[in-house]
Amino acid sequence: MAPSLRICTLLLAFTTIFASSALVLAWDQAVLSSETPSEQALLDYSWIQKLGAVGDSYAAGLGAGKRLDWSCSRYDHSYPALLHSSLFLGANPYRSFQFLACSGATSEEVVAKQISALDDDLDIVTVSAGGNDVGLSIIMNHCIYQFFMSNQDACENALSETWSKIENELPGNLTTLLEALKPKVSKRNGTIYYTGYARFFGTDDNTCDSITWAVWSPGSEAAKQYLTLGRRKTMNAMVDAVNKRIKDAVEKAGDHVVFVDYDDYVAENKGRYCEAGVMEPAPNRLGLYFYEWKTVDTGDNTTALSRAGDDVPKGSFESEIAEWTNRTHQEHPDWKFGPEDDEKIVLGAGKERSSEIIGDTVSWLLPDFWKRVFHLRPAGHLLIANLVLDKITETSAKLAEARVLEEEVFLIDA
Ligand SMILES: *[C@@H]1O[C@H](CO)[C@@H](O)[C@H](O)[C@H]1NC(C)=O
Ligand SMILES: *[C@@H]1O[C@H](CO)[C@@H](O)[C@H](O)[C@H]1NC(C)=O
Ligand SMILES: *[C@@H]1O[C@H](CO)[C@@H](O)[C@H](O)[C@H]1NC(C)=O
Ligand SMILES: CC(=O)N[C@H]1CO[C@H](CO)[C@@H](O)[C@@H]1O
């Protein structure tokens, strides 16, 4: 992790604070000259003693760094884990951290299993949820990898079902989640930071039009999906629409909820699949923010990732891939798995079963590389952690201003 990135963010934070306090200063010179918090004070995060993180696999950080637990696939380079580290909120022996995010969780499950388990009076909670409500992974299946490959074009149907859920169900589900979460943060400073999603595809040229990531061969030629410009734009628009609903729900939820939108940064940094001129697959392209099936991060154990490791927890993102794959394998025993012609995979090779967890598991037949596709790499989580920290600093500045105003009112009253 480059410390220079952190310093850049701090500079950005300074600029924001200076800009906002300059405004207030002009407004009320006298009161603020003695009361404006120094930037030193605003960058002191020691008051944050109760931190929580809920949500789906994007909050769990599926695949990024070292795995922290089995049943929810939380990872140590996830943005919540980064925030809790000395690099972001600082080392603080008094800070508690409830990391409850879980791969596969819908907003309903986040409310039922995670929010209900949170402590009261939290200073900060981060949340990522909504993608599983509308079936973003189903789109990934039917329109991209086709782990389950049906005989006809299932992508268009999946797209229209997702559109309908984004319109009709998502807004209500997001508000329900936020109403459940709000009482968990402290009345005074407590704030919820809701992180969105990022559009997955570059749309600047047609280089990807002839690319299919369909995993079965020969598979059904008629059903094979391609990463055409039109498709990429549609799938991006879907992520945009989800982010828009999140932004609306956050605004509706009031002062203590902040939307953290990292999508534009991923686009600006050309961190998506099919960026201009990129011939996919390009799993280890410098600057790619998402995992492809053969992406290797610094520190990854390639041997382990190339084999089928443990089975996967029921209900997780990974278990969907496992079930789709198995279903096609059952229906078409003669088809071979593997997106690249030169490396067909023998399903199930090298699998180790963990006896203590059988029952909650789904058989995992593929190399472990596949467990994290379409999720953010550590650089993506670093970006989100930086943006959340900037928002925390901004919120602190606003709260400090509010305290000064309160005091002013008190002085006038007295
Ligand atoms: C990498 O993974 C393999 C297979 O799981 C294991 O045998 C090996 O010890 C690991 N290497 C390191 C450096 O952890
Ligand atoms: C695949 O699915 C079949 C039928 O649903 C099931 O009997 C079988 O155990 C599954 N195989 C694996 C490896 O999970
Ligand atoms: C609220 O936040 C400010 C920093 O913005 C901090 O100085 C203060 O101690 C916090 N109050 C509580 C109750 O945590
Ligand atoms: C996943 C989830 O929570 N879905 C719910 C969203 O809201 C609708 C009602 O509008 C419910 O029917 C879904 O179960």
Q: Cα(305) to centroid of ligand 1, in Å? A: 10
Beta bridge partners, 96, equal 50
Token pair 């909670």 in the structure block, residue: 125
First-to-last alpha carbon distance for the chain, in angstroms, is 52
Query: Which residue segments constitute the domains of the chain, with CATH numbers given?
Result: 3-136+155-210+228-295+375-413 (3.40.50.1110)
Position 351 confidence tier, pLDDT thresholds 50, 70, 90: low
- Mean pLDDT (whole number) for 37-48: 83
For residue 403, what pLDDT is reported?
82
Position 11 confidence tier, pLDDT thresholds 50, 70, 90: very low
Contact 275, 176 (CB under 8 A): no
For residue 165, what pLDDT is reported?
98
Handedness of CA 272, 277, 279, 284 (dihedral sign): negative
Residue nearest to atom 3 of ligand 1 (CA): 304
For residue 38, what pLDDT is reported?
74
For residue 400, what pLDDT is reported?
85
Query: Does the beta carbon of 124 sit less than 6 angstroms from any atom of ligand 3?
Result: no
Q: Cα(351) to centroid of ligand 2, in Å? A: 15
Contact 170, 247 (CB under 8 A): no
Kind and range of the H or E element at 55?
strand 50-55
For residue 5, what pLDDT is reported?
46
Q: Which ligand has the nearest atom to the CA of 310?
A: 1
Question: Rounded to whole angstroms, how far apart are CA atoms 254 and 242?
Answer: 19
pLDDT (tens digit per residue) in 185-222? 999 899 999 999 999 999 999 999 999 999 999 999 99
- How many angstroms from the chain centroid is the CA of residue 14? 26
Q: Which ligand has the nearest atom to the CA of 328?
A: 2
With vertex at residue 94, the alpha carbon angle to CA 88 and CA 95, rounded to the nearest 5 degrees, is 45
The better pLDDT of the pair 399, 65 is held by: 65
Position 322 confidence tier, pLDDT thresholds 50, 70, 90: very high
Alpha helices in 306-377 (DSSP H): 317-331
- Report the nearest atom of ligand 2 relative to the CA of 362: 14
The answer, yes or no, to whether residue 53 has pLDDT greater than 60, is yes
Contact 180, 107 (CB under 8 A): no
The answer, yes or no, to whether residue 30 has pLDDT greater than 50, is no
Kind and range of the H or E element at 191?
strand 191-195
The answer, yes or no, to whether residue 12 has pLDDT greater than 50, is no
The answer, yes or no, to whether residue 2 has pLDDT greater than 50, is no
- Report the nearest atom of ligand 4 relative to the CA of 165: 6
Q: List % helix, strand, coil for the chain (3-state, nearest 5).
A: 45, 10, 45
Question: Rounded to whole angstroms, how far apart are CA atoms 36 and 26?
Answer: 12
Q: What is the mean pLDDT of the chain?
A: 88
Global confidence as pTM = 0.89
Question: Rounded to whole angstroms, how far apart are CA atoms 339 and 334?
Answer: 16
For residue 3, what pLDDT is reported?
39
- Mean pLDDT (whole number) for 40-58: 93
For residue 150, what pLDDT is reported?
81
For residue 110, what pLDDT is reported?
98
pLDDT over 70, % of the chain: 86
Contact 281, 340 (CB under 8 A): yes
- Mean pLDDT (whole number) for 309-324: 94
pLDDT (tens digit per residue) in 272-301? 999 999 999 999 999 999 999 999 999 999
Position 355 confidence tier, pLDDT thresholds 50, 70, 90: low
- The candidate with the shortest Cα–Cα distance to 256, out of 194, 195, 196, 176, is 194
Q: Could you tell which of 110, 132, 133 is best to mutate to test the pocket of ligand 4, judged by most ligand atoms within 8 Å of the CB?
A: 133
Q: Cα(188) to centroid of ligand 3, in Å? A: 8
Query: Does the beta carbon of 301 sit less than 6 angstroms from any atom of ligand 1?
Result: yes
The answer, yes or no, to whether residue 132 has pLDDT greater than 80, is yes
Q: Is 221 helix (H, G, I), strand (E, B) or coil?
A: helix
The better pLDDT of the pair 358, 318 is held by: 318
Structure tokens belonging to residue 34: 């003695």
For residue 405, what pLDDT is reported?
84
- The candidate with the shortest Cα–Cα distance to 201, out of 131, 262, 288, 128, is 288
Query: Does the beta carbon of 400 sit less than 6 angstroms from any atom of ligand 3?
Result: yes
For 315-326, b/e burial (b = at least 16 CB within 10 A) is bbbbbbbbebbb
Cis omega before residue 333 (within 30°)? no
Alpha helices in 256-377 (DSSP H): 263-268, 302-305, 317-331
Q: Which ligand has the nearest atom to the CA of 325?
A: 2
Q: Is 361 helix (H, G, I), strand (E, B) or coil?
A: strand
Position 160 confidence tier, pLDDT thresholds 50, 70, 90: very high
Structure tokens belonging to residue 55: 């949500």
